[in-house]
């Protein structure tokens, strides 16, 4: 920054971007649970009260990042070629693409896993509204993508695929990131190998099953 105090709209927006970028960089080095407002302020070179002038809380900052990560993920999916083949083949390919693409975004996965239980708990109604509108827009775009790949599905079916993808991703991610003690337990006792979770494989399989079931039900109708 070449200015000490943000006085113009451009400077204030630059300061917001600085805070968000610093938070994102921290999340590439640590989980959401370890990111503190004090450390974020220190790394951003700002006093904690100054950070709170731009964002009402740590959770508001992280929700803003989640909104941006979701939008970037969806934009990337829009550029991917549509799967080809039978409905089964297209469904399997779509499931694999969804799982692999979100697995490639660990920051998104970590933020999504903390969304309901942590990030939505210390925010105002205004922040909640902005977040939910952003999530709704991302879900609508994802639903349209699913329908383009699988026109056999109705809109409500495609939305179900989106819900399963996001909810399963947020639930599976923590289980795929075991603590050092748990990793040591796996190494010490091979009989526990069944508890090891491959995030991409588990998520892809869950999405495959839902798509297959929805396509089959539509075929019966």
Residues 140-165, mean pLDDT to the nearest whole number: 97
Residue with tokens 């508001």: 60
pLDDT tens digits for range 159-218: 999 999 999 999 999 999 999 999 999 999 999 988 989 999 999 999 999 999 999 988
Residue ranges of alpha helices (H) inside 176-220 are 180-188, 199-220
| Phi and psi torsions of 196, nearest 5° | -65, 130
DSSP state of 221: -
CB 186 within 8 A of CB 176: no
Other CB atoms closer than 10 Å to residue 95's CB: what's the count?
24
Tens-digit pLDDT profile for residues 25-71? 999 999 999 999 999 999 999 999 999 999 999 999 999 999 999 99
The residues of the chain that CATH labels 1.10.357.10 are: 58-220
**CATH homologous superfamily of 1-55:** Homeodomain-like (1.10.10.60)
Residues of the chain with CATH 1.10.10.60: 1-55
Residue 4 has pLDDT above 60, yes or no: no
Residue carrying the six token digits 């731009």: 54
User: In angstroms, rounded to a whole number, what is the distance separating the alpha carbons of residues 210 and 95?
Assistant: 9
Report yes or no: 150 and 87 within 8 Å, Cβ to Cβ: yes
> Which residue is it, tokens 């491959």?
198
**CATH fold for the domain made of 58-220:** Tetracycline Repressor; domain 2 (1.10.357)
């Amino acid at each position: 920054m070449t200015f000490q105090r943000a006085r113009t709209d451009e400077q204030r927006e630059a300061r917001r971007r600085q805070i968000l970028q610093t938070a994102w960089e921290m999340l590439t080095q640590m989980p959401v649970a370890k990111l503190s407002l004090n450390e974020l302020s220190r790394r951003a070179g700002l006093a904690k009260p100054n950070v709170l002038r731009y964002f009402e809380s740590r959770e508001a900052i992280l929700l803003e990042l989640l909104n941006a990560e979701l939008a970037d993920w969806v934009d990337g999916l829009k550029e991917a070629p549509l799967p080809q083949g039978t409905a089964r083949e297209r469904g399997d390919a779509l499931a694999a693409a969804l799982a692999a693409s979100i697995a490639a975004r660990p920051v998104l996965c970590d933020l999504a896993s903390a969304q309901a239980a942590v990030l939505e708990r210390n925010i105002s109604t205004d922040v909640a509204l902005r977040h939910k509108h952003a999530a709704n827009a991302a879900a609508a775009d994802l639903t349209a993508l699913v329908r383009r790949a699988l026109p056999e599905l109705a809109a409500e079916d495609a939305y179900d695929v989106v819900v399963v993808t996001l909810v399963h991703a947020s639930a599976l991610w923590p289980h795929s990131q075991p603590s050092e003690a748990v990793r040591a337990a796996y190494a010490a006792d091979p009989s526990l190998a069944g508890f090891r979770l491959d995030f991409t494989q588990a998520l892809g399989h869950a999405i495959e099953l839902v798509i297959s079931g929805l396509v089959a039900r539509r075929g019966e109708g």
